[in-house]
Structure 1
């Protein structure tokens, strides 16, 4: 079934809610306050279906003080139903709604002039033409316009037929699922329910989804599209999601639900903006930012002025994390007035100089992604992860790689999805060469080197290792690299070096992995070396990460037994008087003493077992 979301816009009392009721019988003003005041206060949702096509309606409030609720619904429109009373014509809230929709990038529009029963055909035609000319200022793709009356069933049926003939679905499949919560409630026996519009990709029952704002992964218990259970909810479906394992009070309107690992939140993001006619955006001033169905109180910091601008680049600085994607549209309001619209250019906060940031924003503003990569690489000398491109550039991994490959003087690791300036290779080269120059018995694998150079991918390290092999500085044995100048019995030499190290450390040996790092040994080789020394009886394994040379241990055991002869027992207290070691070592050596048949443990003390 194809899906289309049509949202209303227009001034209060121009008949938006009555028109929706005439189209599908849905009473939008359902709350007590709405019915008492006779106005729509919050969003309402309904639909009509015919011949495999579903139209979802989002009816928005027309009152000037409720524009924030209007914006919460407008971001998901595929098409706007502009509703204007033939008696009143264009009014202030009609204009503000049109401005907001224009700023949000809503292009498809249908114009309906209501209450046509109150004028003759000639006046209706004049009003239609006048309103059409006015709406043309906002660059809508006007699909059709017509006059209707809720008391004229034929006009309603004609409108319904035209709506079903529309081809105006504007949402494209993206790299991942996104969903802004516009309502949340709890139903007895079912639990927590959220409603919203499916963006990006479809979701299915029993899938895991991620609530970004509270960093919680939850499971979908059930999906409903217009009160019908479904296995899969597709793009542009108005969908109710029954969530498992979370309380309704923990979720708020505006929360963003996605898939784990795709989106990071930042307290600062960068945008381009354009103010409405005769309005300005002021530097270092607090504004209300509307993103999806969320309202965020934030400060605007202009890049090219310390006073005000009508358009340009700005930074949005908030006290809470903002989860956004490149190209997201935002609305900027000051109190009850819409000031400007913006486009998210840089949803990821990077530590970089202001001059670099401006270059980045200029590139992103014209969608020059390769240039944006270049600017970011100047700030990220040790590699730029392409995995973030879904959020940072709204690109798939394949698209991100294609753009990266256009760069000259870069290494692109396609497996680990990282770009490096080729000049960074010198850092890896010098680091590896220093290791083997300082320690001629170094024996490391690619993976071991990566543990030291956490920022470098194994693919990039491999290029450097091949160069060092070609230069005959290194030789390779299996997956290990050793100094090409060493001709001795390498295995025996390493054993002697490790043994000497343990003998020098005596009764306070460091953990094996620290020894391996200090001696530039691959961990597998290090483990095998310790096993060999243990089998020869040259070192003893006391615990998982505690190895001591046998001579030091023999003396220690002799001294512990001497304490027993003197005091009648040995415990941590009198043992520490002779050997002021940490508790870790004292406990381990006392436990080792239990291996001797003449020793008995009583409580925390060790004594001789007397026959």
Structure 2
């Protein structure tokens, strides 16, 4: 089924809600306050179907004090239905609504002149000409202009037919689902239900979704599209989602629901902006920012001015995190005044200088993604994650990988989804050389080197190891690499080195992994060496991570027996008096005494058995 979202726009009392009722029978003003005041206060949602076509209507309030509610609905419009009363023509909120629609980048528009029965044909034609002239100031794609009266069924049917000629949604498909909540409520026996518009990609029943600001994953228990149960909801579907194990009190209008792993939260955004005619943005001033159905107070920091600008770049700072993507539209308002519209250029807070950031913003503004990658790689010398390309550039993984592969002077790890500037290869090479220069008997695998250079992927490290092997600096022995200048028996030498070290450390031996790291040998290899030493009885294993040289153990056992002879017993106190070791060692050696048949443990003391 094809879907399109049509949103109303227009001045208060020009007949937006009455027109929707005439089209589909839906009474939009549902609340008691709305009925008493006779105006739409919040958004209302309804639809109209014909065969395989579905039109979703979002009716917005026309009152100047309720523009914030209008913006919350407008972000999801595919097309705008500008409603103008033939009796009054263009009014202040007609202008502001159109300015906001233009700032949000919505281009398709239909014009409906209402109350045609209350004016003459000449007045009607004059109003049409005035509206067309007004709209020429903007770059809208005007689909048609239609004159109606809710009391003339033929005019309403004519409008319906024209609406069904509109093409389905042109919202771009992304590689992950996004959904701004515009309403949230709890239904007895069902649980938490949210409503909103599907963006990015479809969502299916029983699929897992992620709520970034809560850092919680949940499952879709039920989907309703226009009050009908559905197996999935597609882009531009108005959908109600029943969420599992989420309390209604945890969510509010403006919260985003998405997929895990795609969006990181930041309390800053970098934008390009353009003010409405006669308006300016002030540096370091607080404004209300609208993104999706979310409203948040922010501070605006201009890039190229410490006073005011009509257009340019700015950094937005907030006291909460945004979860946004490249090219999302925003609106900035001050009190009840719309000031500017903007486009998110950089939704990730990167550690970079202002001059570097300016270059990045210029590249992103020009949609030069290749140049943006190159600039970011200068700031991310230890690798730029391609998975973040979904958020940074609104690219799919495949598109991001293709960009990475076609960049010059980079290494693209397709498996790990990371790209590295090629010059960082020299840094890795130097790190590896230092290891093998410091310890001639170093014997490491790729995985062991990665433990030391955590930011580098195994594939990137492997390219360096391959080069060092070609340069005859290293020799590969199975999956381990050794110094090419050492010709002796590595295994025998390493056994001697570890045995000697344990003997020198005497009663306070280092834990095995620390020894391996100090000697720069692979952990698996180190474990095998210790097993060999234990089988030869040169080293004794007392605990999981405590190995002692046999000579040292014999010595301490002899000395512990001497303490028993002198004091009649040994416990941790008199043992520590003679040997001020850590408690870990003392208890281990005392426990080892229990292996001797002539020694008995009584409470916490060891004594000789009486003959």
Shift of 1:231: 1.4
Equivalence for 2:287: 287
Query: Kindly tell me: are residues 31 and 500 of structure 1, through their superposed partners in 2, closer, same or farther at Cα, counting changes over 3 Å?
Result: same
Shift of 1:560: 3.4
Shift of 1:543: 1.9
Query: Kindly tell me: are residues 240 and 585 of structure 1, through their superposed partners in 2, closer, same or farther at Cα, counting changes over 3 Å?
Result: farther
Shift of 1:578: 2.5
Equivalence for 1:436: 436
Per-residue Cα deviation, 1:220-267 (whole angstroms, up to 9, x for no partner): 111111111111111111111111111110111111111111000111
Equivalence for 1:553: 553
Equivalence for 1:5: 5
Q: Is 1:257 paired with 2:254? A: no
Query: Kindly tell me: are residues 341 and 601 of structure 1, through their superposed partners in 2, closer, same or farther at Cα, counting changes over 3 Å?
Result: farther
Which structure 1 segments of 5+ residues have no match? none
Aligned partners of 2:326 and 2:393 also within 8 Å: yes
Shift of 1:361: 0.4
Query: Kindly tell me: are residues 604 and 76 of structure 1, through their superposed partners in 2, closer, same or farther at Cα, counting changes over 3 Å?
Result: farther
Q: Give the TM-score taking structure 1 as reference length.
A: 0.97
Query: Kindly tell me: are residues 597 and 289 of structure 1, through their superposed partners in 2, closer, same or farther at Cα, counting changes over 3 Å?
Result: farther
Equivalence for 2:580: 580
Per-residue Cα deviation, 1:51-95 (whole angstroms, up to 9, x for no partner): 011111111111111111111111011111111111111111111
Higher alpha-carbon deviation: 538-547 or 578-587: 578-587
Shift of 1:338: 0.7
Equivalence for 1:75: 75
- Alpha-carbon distance in 2 for matches of 1:568, 1:227: 87
Higher alpha-carbon deviation: 544-553 or 309-318: 544-553
Shift of 1:572: 3.1
Equivalence for 1:182: 182
Equivalence for 2:195: 195
Shift of 1:455: 1.7
- Alpha-carbon distance in 2 for matches of 1:297, 1:600: 74
Aligned partners of 1:9 and 1:82 also within 8 Å: yes
Query: Kindly tell me: are residues 155 and 465 of structure 1, through their superposed partners in 2, closer, same or farther at Cα, counting changes over 3 Å?
Result: same
Aligned partners of 1:108 and 1:168 also within 8 Å: no
- Alpha-carbon distance in 1 for matches of 2:209, 2:584: 44
Equivalence for 2:270: 270
- Alpha-carbon distance in 2 for matches of 1:112, 1:604: 93
Per-residue Cα deviation, 1:350-408 (whole angstroms, up to 9, x for no partner): 11111100000000100111111111122122222222111011111221222233332
Q: Is 1:487 paired with 2:487? A: yes
Query: Kindly tell me: are residues 466 and 149 of structure 1, through their superposed partners in 2, closer, same or farther at Cα, counting changes over 3 Å?
Result: same
Higher alpha-carbon deviation: 571-580 or 129-138: 571-580
| Structural RMSD (CA) | 1.6
Equivalence for 1:46: 46
- Alpha-carbon distance in 2 for matches of 1:345, 1:354: 15
- Alpha-carbon distance in 1 for matches of 2:497, 2:421: 38
* Aligned-partner SS, 1:264: coil
Equivalence for 2:227: 227
- Alpha-carbon distance in 1 for matches of 2:152, 2:607: 105
- Alpha-carbon distance in 2 for matches of 1:310, 1:410: 39
Shift of 1:608: 4.3
The 5 A counterparts of 1:453-602 are: 453-602=453-602
Aligned partners of 1:108 and 1:140 also within 8 Å: yes
Equivalence for 1:356: 356
Aligned partners of 2:2 and 2:168 also within 8 Å: no
* Aligned-partner SS, 1:83: strand
Per-residue Cα deviation, 1:409-454 (whole angstroms, up to 9, x for no partner): 2222222222222221111111111111111100011111111111
Q: Is 1:379 paired with 2:379? A: yes
Aligned partners of 1:283 and 1:301 also within 8 Å: yes
Per-residue Cα deviation, 1:456-486 (whole angstroms, up to 9, x for no partner): 2222222221121112111111111101122
* Aligned-partner SS, 1:171: coil
- Alpha-carbon distance in 2 for matches of 1:28, 1:265: 35
Higher alpha-carbon deviation: 85-94 or 566-575: 566-575
Shift of 1:569: 4.1
- Alpha-carbon distance in 1 for matches of 2:294, 2:593: 66
Query: Kindly tell me: are residues 145 and 600 of structure 1, through their superposed partners in 2, closer, same or farther at Cα, counting changes over 3 Å?
Result: farther
Aligned partners of 1:445 and 1:480 also within 8 Å: yes
Shift of 1:541: 1.8
Query: Kindly tell me: are residues 451 and 24 of structure 1, through their superposed partners in 2, closer, same or farther at Cα, counting changes over 3 Å?
Result: same
- Alpha-carbon distance in 2 for matches of 1:271, 1:462: 39
Shift of 1:185: 0.6
